[in-house]
Amino acid sequence: MPNRLPVTAMPFTKTWEKPKNEFHSRYSNNIHYISMRYRLFPFFFLFLLCAPPLPSLAATDGTHDLQITFSSIPTLNCTTAGFRLYDDNGEKICETTNEAGNNKILCPDVQISGTEATFTMTSFCKEGAESVHSAPFTITFPDEIPLNAVISATPSSGTAPLDVTLNGGDSTGTITQYHWQFGDGSSPADGIHVTHRFTGAGTYTIKLTVTDDAGNTSQTESTITISGGSPVNSPPVAIIAATSTVGDSPLSVTFDGSGSSDPDGDTLTYTWNFGDGGSSSGNASSATHIYTNAGTYQATLTVSDGAHQVTTKPVPVLVSGDGTINGQPTAAITVDRQSVAIPFTVHFNGSTSTPSSSTDSIVRYSWDFGDGSTASGKSVIHTFTVIGEYSVTLTVTDSTGARNTTTVKINGTEKNDIKKLLPLLYKLLLLNNTHQHTEKP
């Protein structure tokens, strides 16, 4: 039952204080009512209860929602028809009819120019009579609570490693997001409450950014001091420069890591992995390596500081062409003829070619016949149709990626024609016959 104030306590003024966050929690669970007892002559006793404004009261156009709950005790000679609410100018704002039961609620929208308004109430009978106005009552509507970020850190100092609980619950406004940055290089986090572990000694600046439902933001900072332990160490930065990373084997590549650095000024050690089984490590920032076999390799540089922080950087190396170290394939060609009158067909065979080692194999045979034609395969046949000398090449590639090439000459001569020989034969026969005739006695 609401507390009833004596008539002498009126007029009164009440300021409704909006909660800092979450309108609904206050309005639904902790509504505070002020009850006033009015004698509205000549009809009844009126118990008036004023509820806090609803969440929309902070509209910028000056319109506010007001809820007034009341009950009445009817008097004789009047059948209560309803109740009316007036502003301080005597203008009627709204009225309610006397429905079944004594509990009544008025929920008007009120337009005010400032932050407060004064009202009166009356009752009226079905017979048409209306009571005198009640004593005025004033309600003050506070301005909209501004968006403001507030940090609470527990504890705010200590010895590493230290878990710090951060609370943004004292921030004000219609907040929809809490975004935390911890100042130690770690990933940010979201939430009204977060816990973060600081592992190294130092002074850290925590930032909280709050965002409201209109997209506005507010940011604040708080300092956390961590003692003891080890200072936070930053990882080094690895940088590689390399010469001649593409070429035929044997390929000599010089790698340079002297551009690498450490933010903390620690001395770096360098470990090179050349991708073909070779490696190098120590304090030297550069290294030279020879790639003896064709293939694609990924060389890597790993730099390490004195605090067990490491960074690795890769660089690709592409080796092709003829290898001359650790063996190479041998290309070999056999043919069934090398010189013949055109047109003629030659059978080429590369089956006697050998790989780099007994554990490898020839995986590709590539032929170039020197007349613009090419072919692939261990054994091929090609027809030459034009007179001339041709350099036929075979390139073999083995399973290591190494290659080798060999060449054979093919000579295409003019085709023999019996018709072209007849005049010559005739002259020879005639000459021979004349010679025999002159030798007779």
Are 4-140 and 334-413 in the same CATH fold? yes
Token couple for 386? 């034009």
Query: Is pLDDT larger for residue 242 or for residue 282?
Result: 242
What digits encode the pLDDT tens for the residues 295-341?
A: 889 999 999 887 777 888 899 988 886 544 456 788 888 888 777 77
For range 352-372, the mean pLDDT = 87
Nearest to 209 by CA among 195, 197, 192: 192
Query: Which CATH code, of 1.10.3210.10, 3.20.20.140, 2.60.40.10, 3.40.50.720, is assigned to 152-231?
Result: 2.60.40.10
- Report how far residue 56's alpha carbon sits from residue 144's, in angstroms, rounded to the nearest whole number: 10
Average pLDDT over residues 287-299: 87
Least confident of 130-139, 355-364, 377-386, 410-419: 410-419
- Give residue 16's pLDDT: 36
Which carries the bigger pLDDT value, residue 4 or residue 340? 340
Protein fold of 241-320: Immunoglobulin-like (2.60.40)
Q: What is the pLDDT of residues 389-405, one digit of tens each?
A: 888 999 998 887 888 88
Separation of first and last alpha carbons in the chain: 175
Q: Domain ranges for the chain, please list them.
A: 4-140, 152-231, 241-320, 334-413
Cα(309)–Cα(294) distance, integer angstroms: 35
Answer CATH for 334-413 from 3.40.600.10, 2.60.40.10, 2.130.10.10, 1.25.40.10 = 2.60.40.10
Q: What is the pLDDT of residue 75?
A: 66
CB 96 within 8 A of CB 106: yes
User: Per the CATH hierarchy, to which homologous superfamily does domain 4-140 belong?
Assistant: Immunoglobulins (2.60.40.10)
CB atoms within 10 A of CB 323: 26
Say what the pLDDT of residue 18 is: 35
Q: Is the model's pLDDT at 27 over the cut of 60?
A: no
What is the per-residue pLDDT across 247-286, written as a single tens digit (0 to 9) for each?
Answer: 888 888 999 999 999 887 888 889 989 998 888 877 788 8
What is the band of 65 on the pLDDT scale with cuts at 50, 70, 90?
Answer: low
Residue whose tokens read 């909006």: 18
Q: What are the pLDDT digits (tens) for 104-120?
A: 666 676 777 666 788 88
Whether the predicted pLDDT of 221 surpasses 70: yes
pLDDT at position 432, please?
Answer: 63
pLDDT at 87 over 80: yes
pTM: 0.30
State residue 421's pLDDT score: 55
Amino acid at 372: G
pLDDT of residue 400: 78
Specify the amino acid at residue 228.
G
pLDDT band at residue 60, thresholds of 50, 70 and 90?
A: very low
Tell me, what's the pLDDT at 375? 93
Confidence category of residue 160, pLDDT binned at 50, 70, 90: confident
Q: What is the mean pLDDT of residues 134-153?
A: 79
Q: Tell whether the model's pLDDT for residue 73 goes beyond 90.
A: no
What does the alpha-carbon distance between residue 53 and residue 18 come to, in Å, rounded to a whole number?
8
pLDDT for res 38: 29
* Average model confidence (pLDDT) across the chain: 75
- d(CA 255, CA 251) in angstroms, rounded, equals 13
